[in-house]
Structure 1
Amino acid sequence: MNAVRGFPAFPSQRAGARFATSWWGRAWIQAIEDTSLDQTLLRKGRTYAKSGQVGPITVSPGRIAAVTESEYDTVVHVEQLTAPEWERFLDQVAAKAGHIAALLDGDMPHDLVEDAEDAGVPLLPAVGDLEPECSCPDWGHPCKHAAALCYQASWLLDADPFVLLLMRGRGEQELIEALQGRDVPAPDLAADAGMPAVVAFGLGVPPLPGPPPFDVAFAPLGLEPAPGVDVAALEVLAASAADRARELLLTGGLAVLTEYQDRVRLAAAHDLDLGLEAAVQAWRYGGADGLEALESAWTPPKQDLARARTLLRAGWEGEHPPEVEAWRNRWTIGARQLRYGRDGRWYPFTDRDGQWWPAGPPERDPSALVG
């Protein structure tokens, strides 16, 4: 029973839109980037993907396809699992009741993929599992059209891991029907009654559970007015403390901020009107590094600037590279200025009433910010 799923074309994305955010979506992108022989074509593919130059996408066993730039037939072939591999994969899914629930809830558990790999089932694609094909005259592997299709496919994978399983050869309904014919393990009731200590110690140390989800929005306190208490300010501070605590849990550390940086951070996070519009915009694009790019000039190492010039020339699609008016870490190119941050990324700025204004998220390749 083969399934075919169609997805509408993605519209043009806002500046700074990210591709895969799920770990399995990022593994998909890693596979296509490891397969690529030309980083310039990959960069163009990312631009095509974000600018909406890929038509509706069709996913079927062993392939994803779309018409790109309204004229090129673009296909990426995906290595399908064999019948024995599917049997072993279904055994792994059925071994834990939580696996089925996770898949239906749009999640791909790490331990499921690891157990499948232990059983000889390569669920996530690797180098050699993806084969691009396009009717365009480009000889790239992949060409920019196939790369764009793969980058957009990562958004589909983020939303539904069954898309990956369909690429590997079987659709959602077929898998669910196959799983219904397998026994789901029952809880081990004997464990509730206890066991000898020597047996328990012999089992070893079980793995720690995964980290808790940190994507839950902070719930406002909803404080009642009280004499002498600025309730609105207190709620902002509580939300800020929750944000910082979340950052600490995710990263294991917090950057030390000056009083001014922390004021900009608060204004950016909570839409406070403190007369810091440009600083707030810079913070939203790049945090403390973005704020420094707005307000400070410095002299980068010569090798960093030489590398950036090479990238700018290589990524320019026109006949002649743009003229650059360079001063320290600031390159002015027409109506746009790029500022090299101490974090190794280029920050874009545009001229607004004689003031350079933050214009988007940073890139390590300056050519991605001009065109």
Structure 2
Amino acid sequence: MNAARGFPAFPPQRAGARFATSWWGRAWVKAMEDTSLDQVLLRKGRAYAKTGQVGPITVSPGRIAAVAESDYDTVVRVEQLTDAAWERFLDQVAAKAGHIAALLDRDMPHDLVEAAADAAVPLLPTVGDLEPECSCPDWGHPCQHAAALCYQTSWLLDADPFVLLLVRGRGQRELIEALQQRDTPAPVLSGVPAGAAFAMGVPPLPEPPPYDVPYTPPALEPAPGVDVTALGVLAASAAWRARELLLRGRLPELTEYQDRVRLAADHDLDLGLGAAVQAWRYGGAGGLDVLETAWTPPRQDLARAQALLEAGWEDEQPPHVESWRNRWTLGPLQLRYGRDGRWYPFTEHDGRWWPAGPPERDPSALARYEATEMT
């Protein structure tokens, strides 16, 4: 008896994500779409699938199930192959050594499906082979929830054709065991035996590359149609990204605008981004965010900051604060609370607030510093 296989819910997909890139996955989708009589429900199903409104999927012989939007129990049933049909299918797999190797490589050979069909073994579903069920009140066949489940199942089939075989009644382990009983040559797997690999022990890792080597810009010769200065900036940016990846194992996620500000700040480029460049130099993406975005912090964060501000002035009277969302104005100084938990100082120039220094966790440190500077 095959154990059911569980798959985690698919997260929302990017715009333009496709269903079924494999030929057998597309055949699955076609069987479902050709059965449907309602294109509106299919469109809803595609939207539900791409926006992650289907829960974890369970695949078992003859059955694919999930809980969809609003906790609807959704099932798609597929007829299982008979024992006799499985025997004929195993004959086709055993007839060519490359068939099982291709399946293990997560490929479904065309000639295997065609040979199985010639032996009256229908692996891929056609019109009417998929039987959807759903606890929602919609009478569509399939409803949008069952359609979404079928669309997401095509992704599972793309990744592993053994999912299709499991739905038809037998999974990978049972298939391999049945082939071994037929004295089918096992696929040749390259590598080192596990015992020998464990006996080798863990080899020492190489020393990490040096991170503190200063960047040396390449010597670029002028060339027709080539902006050498821009090319040098791009090379320096690539070096910075490589260093960040080595140091932290990941790159910060920047929008196109943020990356343009970063380049202008790092390379003194005149792109008309004065305040934004200054904010980036003081606080990076966090400094740029407080420059351009007002937001409402949690009350407990503001209460803690108020207590720090009052404590910082000890027995003196703290300055009057005009507060609005994440912005506190103390006369000529404005403190802006960032989403990173730090306060950023701003001073007024020509009727506009400009970044005035690096951020601090304690707003009183910024307020007292400014008061000292102005006396």
TM score, norm. by length of structure 1: 0.50
Note if contact 1:3-1:166 (Cα within 8 Å) is conserved in structure 2. no
Instruction: Give me the whole-angstrom Cα distance separating, in 2, the residues matched to 1:172 and 1:31.
Output: 24
Q: Check if 1:3 corresponds to 2:3.
A: yes
For residue 182 of structure 1, report the CA deviation from its aligned partner.
1.6
Note if contact 1:61-1:168 (Cα within 8 Å) is conserved in structure 2. yes
Instruction: Give me the whole-angstrom Cα distance separating, in 1, the residues matched to 2:14 and 2:67.
Output: 22
> After superposition, what is the alpha-carbon deviation per residue over 1:41-89, rounded to whole angstroms, capped at 9, x for unaligned?
0111000000100000000000100000141000000111111000000
Structure 1: runs of 5 or more not aligned: 187-224, 234-371
Note the 1:173-212 alignment, pairs <5 A: 173-184=173-184
Specify the alignment match of 2:133 in structure 1. Answer: 133
Instruction: Give me the whole-angstrom Cα distance separating, in 2, the residues matched to 1:175 and 1:26.
Output: 24
> After superposition, what is the alpha-carbon deviation per residue over 1:91-146, rounded to whole angstroms, capped at 9, x for unaligned?
10111110011000100000000000011100100112110000000000000000
Note if contact 1:55-1:70 (Cα within 8 Å) is conserved in structure 2. no
For residue 37 of structure 1, report the CA deviation from its aligned partner.
1.2
SS at match of 1:133: strand
* Count of residues paired in the alignment: 196
Instruction: Give me the whole-angstrom Cα distance separating, in 1, the residues matched to 2:68 and 2:182.
Output: 42
Q: Check if 1:118 corresponds to 2:136.
A: no
Specify the alignment match of 1:91 in structure 2. Answer: 91
Q: Hey, which bits of structure 1, 4+ residues long, moved more than 4 A? A: 225-230
Instruction: Give me the whole-angstrom Cα distance separating, in 2, the residues matched to 1:148 and 1:11.
Output: 13
Specify the alignment match of 2:345 in structure 1. Answer: none
Specify the alignment match of 1:146 in structure 2. Answer: 146
For residue 185 of structure 1, report the CA deviation from its aligned partner.
7.2
Specify the alignment match of 2:102 in structure 1. Answer: 102
Instruction: Give me the whole-angstrom Cα distance separating, in 1, the residues matched to 2:32 and 2:183.
Output: 37
Query: Which residue identity lines up with residue 106 of structure 2 in the other structure?
Result: G
> After superposition, what is the alpha-carbon deviation per residue over 1:246-271, rounded to whole angstroms, capped at 9, x for unaligned?
xxxxxxxxxxxxxxxxxxxxxxxxxx
Specify the alignment match of 1:164 in structure 2. Answer: 164
Instruction: Give me the whole-angstrom Cα distance separating, in 1, the residues matched to 2:58 and 2:70.
Output: 15
Note the 1:1-371 alignment, pairs <5 A: 1-184=1-184
Query: Which residue identity lines up with residue 40 of structure 2 in the other structure?
Result: T
Instruction: Give me the whole-angstrom Cα distance separating, in 2, the residues matched to 1:154 and 1:4.
Output: 18
Note if contact 1:96-1:184 (Cα within 8 Å) is conserved in structure 2. no
Instruction: Give me the whole-angstrom Cα distance separating, in 1, the residues matched to 2:133 and 2:160.
Output: 24
Structure 2: runs of 5 or more not aligned: 187-218, 228-375
Query: Which residue identity lines up with residue 27 of structure 1 in the other structure?
Result: A
Instruction: Give me the whole-angstrom Cα distance separating, in 1, the residues matched to 2:56 and 2:108.
Output: 25
Instruction: Give me the whole-angstrom Cα distance separating, in 1, the residues matched to 2:142 and 2:94.
Output: 37
Query: Which residue identity lines up with residue 72 of structure 2 in the other structure?
Result: Y
- CA gap of 1:179–1:226, structure 2 versus 1, over 3 A, is farther
Instruction: Give me the whole-angstrom Cα distance separating, in 1, the residues matched to 2:119 and 2:143.
Output: 34
> After superposition, what is the alpha-carbon deviation per residue over 1:292-321, rounded to whole angstroms, capped at 9, x for unaligned?
xxxxxxxxxxxxxxxxxxxxxxxxxxxxxx
Instruction: Give me the whole-angstrom Cα distance separating, in 1, the residues matched to 2:162 and 2:185.
Output: 22
SS at match of 1:80: coil
Percent identity of the aligned residues? Answer: 82
SS at match of 2:132: strand
For residue 183 of structure 1, report the CA deviation from its aligned partner.
3.4
For residue 3 of structure 1, report the CA deviation from its aligned partner.
2.0
- CA gap of 1:227–1:96, structure 2 versus 1, over 3 A, is farther
Instruction: Give me the whole-angstrom Cα distance separating, in 2, the residues matched to 1:227 and 1:89.
Output: 66
Instruction: Give me the whole-angstrom Cα distance separating, in 2, the residues matched to 1:164 and 1:228.
Output: 59
Tell me how large the CA RMSD over aligned residues is.
2.4
TM score, norm. by length of structure 2: 0.50
SS at match of 1:163: helix
For residue 184 of structure 1, report the CA deviation from its aligned partner.
3.3
Higher-Rg structure is 2
Query: Which residue identity lines up with residue 30 of structure 2 in the other structure?
Result: Q
SS at match of 1:53: coil
Instruction: Give me the whole-angstrom Cα distance separating, in 2, the residues matched to 1:70 and 1:94.
Output: 46
Instruction: Give me the whole-angstrom Cα distance separating, in 2, the residues matched to 1:84 and 1:61.
Output: 16
For residue 21 of structure 1, report the CA deviation from its aligned partner.
0.1
